Amino acid sequence: MWRFTFYLCIFCYGIRFLWSSAWFWDTRQCWHSYPYQPLTSGLYYYYIMELAFYWSLMFSQFTDIKRKDFLIMFVHHLATIALITFSYINNMVRVGTLVMCLHDASDFLLEAAKLANYAKYQRLCDTLFVIFSAVFMVTRLGIYPSWILNTTLFESWEMIGPYPSWWLFNGLLLTLQVLHVIWSYLIARIAFKALIRGKVTYPGRIRPRLCTLHSFLTSFLFSMPGGSWTVSSLACV
């Protein structure tokens, strides 16, 4: 519940903040007058809240049930914390806010699906998981490379040139993209298997088992245990 609340609130905050920001509508503004860009209070609070949350996810991995995806999640959290910290130190906060808001767009939907499952609202759980899957793939495989990577790889190079930290910054962003592809494949595979197998609930009807996930993702991010292809927190029956 607390993760759903955080993801929803931080996403709404991000949209509200970015809606009035020039770089939300024109990504080239992320590099205008760089690095001499003012750090507003809104930007500061946005960064501090996100960074604190991902540090909490990092530490909670060691106290939570250890799953088979521990290493990949650990790498993800490290890359996320490194990106947030690195972009803050180098005053790349404008493009950083775009990255954070884009990733928050799907996370609260997953947490909502988990809550629906706990409350035994299976149809709602199924619906939310389908919506989550669609939003995740559109944002991570479509908008992220065409919007975020385009501006960090090409627009920044064109406007301010190849600065020393350009390689590290884009290397971290490309690492996230590799994880996006892996997770999208796993999501599609699980959903496909659920649709193929199905579950007979009453005569003449087959109900897809879309909620055969447990804690499939841990908000910015996910939790995807390997091997058995079951996830510990969304097991619809």
Q: Work out how many domains the chain is built from and give that number.
A: 1
Q: What is the Cα–Cα distance from 29 to 119, expressed in whole angstroms?
A: 45
Q: What is the pLDDT of residues 83-125, one digit of tens each?
A: 899 899 999 999 999 999 999 999 899 889 889 888 888 888 8
SS3 label, residue 227: coil
Output the average pLDDT for the chain.
80
- Given 3-state DSSP classes, what are the helix, strand and coil percentages for the chain, each rounded to the nearest 5? 70, 5, 25
Q: Is residue 182 part of a domain?
A: yes
Q: Is residue 228 part of a domain?
A: no
Q: What is the Cα–Cα distance from 156 to 166, expressed in whole angstroms?
A: 9
DSSP letter at 141 equals I
Phi, psi of 86 (to 5 degrees): -65, -45
Percent of the chain scoring above 90 in pLDDT: 43
If pLDDT is split at 50, 70 and 90, which confidence band does 197 have?
low
Q: Is residue 153 part of a domain?
A: yes
Q: Is residue 216 part of a domain?
A: no
Q: What is the Cα–Cα distance from 181 to 141, expressed in whole angstroms?
A: 7
DSSP letter at 31 equals S
Q: Is residue 236 part of a domain?
A: no
Q: Is residue 233 part of a domain?
A: no
Averaged pLDDT, 2-20: 93
Parent domain of 120: 2-207
* 30 vs 231, higher pLDDT: 30
Residue in the block written with tokens 């939907």: 109
Q: Is residue 235 part of a domain?
A: no
pLDDT at 17: 93
